Chains A and B, each alone.
Chain A
Amino acid sequence: MSTTLIEPIATDPAIRPGVAARALAATKRYGSGDTAVTALDAVTVDFRAHEFTAIMGPSGSGKSTLMHSVAGLDTLTSGQVFIGDTDVSSLDDKRLTKLRRDKIGFIFQAFNLVPTLNALENITLPLSLAGRKPDAEWLDLVVETVGLANRLSHRPSELSGGQQQRVAVARALASKPEIIFGDEPTGNLDSRAGAEILDFMRRAVRELGQTIVMVTHDPVAASYAQRVIFLADGRIVDELTEPTPERVLDRLMTFGD
């Protein structure tokens, strides 16, 4: 572990420029007393803006809990979470919902789309929920990037799994959020479709300047990121920049389960 590059513990809750989201001593415990399980153990981490970060770790390592907490979907037992300079842990349901709608994009593993809405309506869903008009130019660019221009009026049931995930990526991008969270976004896809999605995500960061944090257990998927954070037993145990699938796999082996 001596070779890893662990971030210095930040004690100052104020967010620094260039950081899109931050967890500060984030702790999540289930149950109490002897049976208590610690899912997150005082994790402190910054997710830098305009960067593609992957979170890895064996099942039960707390990677999903970390992402869900930072994304405002789960609450912490103690600690703080910031999106931009907003203290997520202090928000009530209404504000939290608005935060997710306006500042966060989501790509889930499956069931990403509302079956009764067509592709375009799904892409613009967070915007229309907010009662906002999409930025036409940006929307065109996003739709162009994910290659959905001729599928916009299709309902999810008329799209392939890969196409559905592309719609999900487009939706996450459409509102120009401060940060996009992906929860195993390619977990249900074959490798070719998965690669396509990961490529879109990488381009979204490199070409469109977006910020993405992705949970995955697939070293190949993680290799698309610029930075990989490894979690085990609720703690950050390692970090890797400019990963390749081999290096990621190597690291995983080191503290394998």
Chain B
Amino acid sequence: MFRTTLKNLAARKLRLLTTSLAVLLGVAFMAGTLVLTDTIGSSFDKLFADANAGTSVLVRGEAAFSSDMGDQRGRIDASLVGTIEGLPGVAAATPSVEAYAQLVDRDGKPIGNPGMGAPTLGGIWSQDRQLSPFALDSGRPPVGDHEMVIDKGSATKAGFRIGERASVLTKAGTQRARIVGIATFAGADSPGGASYTLFTAHAAQAYLTEPGKVDAIRVAAASGVSDADLADQIRAVVPHRTDVLTGAQVTAEDQQSIKDGLAFFNTFLLVFAVIALFVGSFIIYNSFSILVAQRSKENALMRALGASRRQVLGSVLMEAVAVGLVASLAGLLAGVGVASGLKSLLGAMGIDMPGGSTVLTTRTVVVSIIAGLGVSVASAVFPARKAAKVPPIAAMRDVAIDTSADGLKRPVIGIAVTGLGAAAMATGMFGGGGIAPVGLGAVLVFLGVAILGPVLARPISRVLGAPLPRLKGTPGLLARENATRNPKRTSATAAALMIGVALVAFITILASSTKASVARSVDRSFTGDLVVDSGAQGAGAGGLNPSFAAKLAKLPELGAVSAIRTTPAQVGGTGTMVTAGDPETLQQILDFGVTQGSLDHLGRHQIGIADLVAKEKGWKVGDTVPVRFAENGVQQFTIGATYEAAEQGGEYFVGLATYEANVADQFDTKVFVDRAPGVDLATARQAVDRAAHDYPQADVQDRAEFKQAQTGEIDMILNLIYALLGLAVFIALLGIANTLALSIFERTRELGLLRAVGMTRTQLRTTVRYEAVIISLLGAVLGLAIGAGFGWSIVRAMSGEGLDTFSLPVTQLGVMVAIAAVAGVAAAILPARRASRMNVLEAITAD
């Protein structure tokens, strides 16, 4: 029996290859993701180890709290450097600053995008070669306040040369400084894509922090003193709430933070690999079902000749093992290529990753083989069982006709599984069960609809194919009949495409609903005309110098001008973002929709809270909540107001005085502007544009542009997800091509007959092509229905969190259906060609 399997495989090398391809692509993507993240991880590990190699001990402020933006800590006194230098175990100590500083290129555009990409930072050029991770590539160290060293990455990107003067955006305004040196970071052009501007210690404190304050102190131990001993010595002299770490701890922490970031990235990509494998499993299932059906006579003969059921089962599974092995091993190889492809894809989206030699770990190999083999064998189990059930007598009979659509068992099971999936999704979305039940529910819904498929396939395909006989005559009629003659096969083929289309439709609907919700929230709460956006978000990302808003406020063309700032903070024990602004002017342009209390005279220890947060936490006006900023300890704040406009006003709102008293760096993230009475929009905008000239990161937007900018990120993510889901759709198309090829092989005599009685090659191709189109459209229609269902549910589930408008992007969904139809045509190209080139006489006399 084993030998028969091998012979089968050898005789059908091409089919083995095409079937394997369905799983191979998924494995390749999975392996590629693992290789990429391992490679990035290992190059970062090395980078940080090298960067911290000379540092024995690092001293910094204790983490006040942790938020989405990482640990938030206050600064320390620069005078500590002297204290530490005086200790006996210290060879050298150097202050370190890590604060917002953004270079401006020769065209006046800021380099980098700290709101979205790697940070743009400024620091102190350390004279100590051992303690500094930076080393001069060319030039010399800075002397005086108007000289700087920049990282080689930024210098290359902007084409800066030594001796050139450039602008740097800092909290102290735009600084002009001469580039006197270009440096590398632990041998790399830049620390993981971040840009660095390095000043003298004096200038750095003046521009980036404040005189007397630094972010950390790096210390080198004297010879014979261990890092741990030195740390103990230092701990004894530093004030309370100061963190003292050994170099090894710093390296481990840096590496861990990269690992955490990569883990998210890894999971994100792996989700798509799993989707691809899930889609691939449908194709394996379908291919094996067709093969088993075509080989049922052969299997029956084997049974008649004395093979046991187990042997038949085993022979089919052996073939699945072979498919799985080919897919896993080839996928693993291809994965190395995929890794570099993914890297360029991410690079094209503005996410730069450091290079390094490719890392192929044992885990990657094992995971890839298990995934490829597992998916192949698991998908072939049902078909194999079916093969084993073939009675020996079937050898003497014609192949049984497909009766899968009959009976009530299938619809009952299908509806039950779909319902179970929907229920699981509901508990995840509405019951607060999280992402796991949603994912599991989605898988169950797909399986349930796939089980229902054979019941749905015939009626839906009939409707989809209804116009074909009129449009394409007999070839059209035959296409429709072929698509409906074996509903099980048609639906399993379509199901693979259904998954991809459902996910694409879902995220498209989600994106369009989000955009509609944002537009609605802007319309509802923003009453002004213009917004100046810095693009910055959160700590360290910088923003607009407050002098800009002050400048705008003086312009006669403008009415109300009010800025908001944001900072990480801890409110009621939770790390979050707090928004600040002047309530009086802000409320002239921004309608907060205050539901209780008043924002008008928000005191120094008062806070406004969005309704959705108040509801979730059970807070009301008059309650006291603990608030902790990075710089100061916990303070008790009274809730002064609750409001609706969480999207524009933020979830937590404090007055400007509170912000200034508690946050080290003052940057405006956005400035809202209203024109003066009688001034037209164009004039007002011109005035703002002129004022913005000296603020390179200022992006002046009217209402429409503002709405668009708020959702610009969505389009970028949407495109990335489209690209990643493209793989699942492509695999589904391979499935269509594979099914058609197998069907054509099975229908050889019928096609021969058709050709003999006068069907032209063109007509035959038309028949195959439109069968594919019907299958694709069936998948698209089912996918759209599921995607719309998913989209509607998530909008319902998140209606309290700003996603309050369900928007069905009819045009985009229509385009999707059209693309599916075209894709069907593409999938049919090779099978149709093969069918039309068949030798008529051989076909009609074939067994």
Contact = CB atoms under 8 A, between A and B. Distances in A.
A38 B749 CA distance: 26
Contacts of A136: none
A116 B478 contact: yes
B844 A94 contact: no
Interface stretch (B352-360, B492-500, B759-767, B775-783): B759-767
Interface stretch (B117-125, B650-658, B750-758): B750-758
Given A102-B758, A131-B473, A114 B750 contact: yes
A166 to B, nearest CB: 16
Interface string A64-103: 0000100001100000000000000000011001101110
B481 interface: yes
Interface string B826-843: 000000000000001100
A111 interface: yes
Interface stretch (A121-129, A139-147, A228-236, A237-245): A121-129
A113 B840 CA distance: 15
Contact of A94 (B401, B478, B749, B760): B760
B485 interface: yes
Contacts of A73: 756, 840-841, 844
Given A111-B749, A114-B750, A116-B481, A129 B844 contact: no
A129 B754 CA distance: 9
B482 interface: yes
B474 interface: yes
Given A73-B841, A114-B750, A116-B478, A171 B757 contact: yes
B683 to A, nearest CB: 69
14 contacts: A68-B841, A73-B756, A73-B844, A93-B761, A94-B760, A94-B761, A97-B759, A100-B758, A114-B750, A115-B750, A116-B482, A117-B478, A128-B474, A129-B473
* Residue from A74, A97, A106, A111 with most neighbouring chain B CB atoms (10 Å): A97
Contacts of A160: none
Contacts of B761: 93-94, 97
Contacts of A114: 478, 750, 753-754
Given A116-B478, A125-B474, A128-B474, A74 B757 contact: no
B758 A129 contact: yes
Nearest to A73: B841
A53 B218 CA distance: 107
Interface string B476-497: 0110011001000000000000
B841 A74 contact: yes
Given A112-B753, A114-B750, A116-B482, A130 B840 contact: no
B485 A100 contact: no
Interface in B464-479: 473-475, 477-478
A115 B485 CA distance: 9
B485 A116 contact: yes
Contacts, number: 69
A108 B482 contact: no
Assign chain B's interface to a size class. Answer: 20 to 34
B841 A129 contact: no
A59 interface: no
B5 to A, nearest CB: 30
Contacts of A129: 473-475, 754, 757-760, 763
A115 B759 CA distance: 16
Nearest to B479: A116
A117 to B, nearest CB: 7
Contacts of B485: 115-116
B750 A130 contact: no
A126 B757 contact: yes
Contacts of A112: 753
A157 interface: yes
B112 to A, nearest CB: 63
A108 B755 contact: no
A115 B751 CA distance: 11
A144 to B, nearest CB: 22
A115 B478 CA distance: 10
A111 B845 CA distance: 9
A13 B735 CA distance: 52
A115 B749 CA distance: 11
Contacts of A116: 478, 481-482, 485
A202 B841 CA distance: 26
The 6 closest A-B pairs by CB, nearest first: A101-B758, A116-B481, A128-B474, A73-B841, A126-B758, A111-B749
* Residue from A94, A98, A100, A113 with most neighbouring chain B CB atoms (10 Å): A100
B838 to A, nearest CB: 11
A111 B757 contact: no
Contacts of A131: 473
A106 B473 contact: no
A111 B753 contact: yes
A153 to B, nearest CB: 14
Given A73-B844, A129-B474, A129-B763, A117 B758 contact: no
A131 B476 CA distance: 12
A93 B758 CA distance: 11
A108 B478 CA distance: 21
Contacts of B763: 129
B181 to A, nearest CB: 75
Contacts of B844: 73, 108, 111
